[in-house]
Amino acid sequence: AQTVTQSQPEMSVQEAETVTLSCTYDTSESNYYLFWYKQPPSRQMILVIRQEAYKQQNATENRFSVNFQKAAKSFSLKISDSQLGDTAMYFCAFMKLNSGNTPLVFGKGTRLSVIA
Amino acid sequence: DTAVSQTPKYLVTQMGNDKSIKCEQNLGHDTMYWYKQDSKKFLKIMFSYNNKELIINETVPNRFSPKSPDKAHLNLHINSLELGDSAVYFCASSPQGSEQFFGPGTRLTVL
């Protein structure tokens, strides 16, 4: 079974600064995706970024980027130029790939507060 | 245009009652899911359906019964509600081998 660990229950960052959220995972699968989802107070789950395990290049989406270390099974999220709207719970998630769709396995989340 | 919708968004009910949560997606995805988010914000899969067929049924009490009348709908019926069922329930859908799109969630409170 796969597990996802987020070791930082809470973090805070000053507006316009950079913050990194940690995530490690455990799997024996070779084909999988990793995701970061954001859950603001509105409780909507919003996809922030995704990474295919077969790709060596780290994914980026505007101010969001990941550091994917496949051998170390590490998948951290870097948020640059933090904005007040980034305040949310952030969940790291794993999805194995097979012939059909499989559900997401989530970490316990990191609550990020952006301070003005 | 709402991609994945759930009704109701809030549900408050008494212990022992039976209730349903409806989910619809207009994305044309084949696979739909139900997740439960507990009071500590932990998200866990409950059920997964592919083209109206049950694929995954995690360790969920049989008081929970999903029903998929067609591939755009996945409803969740809960019998004999208990205090511990209080949570936020999320419906999601996905195309083949890609990320999942979530509904807005239904906050269920059992009194």
Chain segment A7-58, per-residue pLDDT in tens: 999 999 999 999 999 999 999 998 899 999 999 999 999 999 999 999 989 9
pLDDT at A99: 65
Closest Cβ–Cβ partner in B50, B96, B102 for A45: B102
For chain B, what is the domain count? 1
Please, is B57 exposed, middle or buried when counting C-beta atoms within 10 Å of its C-beta (0-12, 13-18, 19+)?
A: middle
Residue B1, domain member (yes or no)? no
In the predicted structure, residue A101 carries a pLDDT above the cut 80: no
The domains found in chain A, sorted by start residue, are 3-115 (2.60.40.10)
Least confident among A74-78, A98-102, B97-101: A98-102
In the predicted structure, residue B36 carries a pLDDT above the cut 80: yes
Residue B87, domain member (yes or no)? yes
Residue B10, domain member (yes or no)? no
Closest-CA distance, B60 to chain A, in angstroms, reads 15
- Both tokens of A67, joined, read 């550091």
Closest Cβ–Cβ partner in A39, A44, A101 for B97: A101
pLDDT at B53: 82
Residue B20, domain member (yes or no)? no
Residue B90, domain member (yes or no)? yes
In the predicted structure, residue B95 carries a pLDDT above the cut 70: yes
Owning domain of residue B73: 28-96
Q: What is the CATH number of the domain that holds B85?
A: 2.60.40.10
Q: Does B30 touch chain A (CB under 8 A)?
A: yes
Residue B103, domain member (yes or no)? no
Q: How far apart are CA A18 and CA A85, in angstroms?
A: 14
Question: Best residue in A33, A101, A112 to probe B by mutation, most B CBs within 10 Å?
Answer: A101
B41: left (phi over 0), alpha (psi -120 to 50) or beta: left
**B80 phi and psi, to 5 degrees?**
45, 60
Residue B61, domain member (yes or no)? yes
Q: Residue B99, SS3?
A: coil
What mean pLDDT is predicted for residues A99-105? Answer: 81
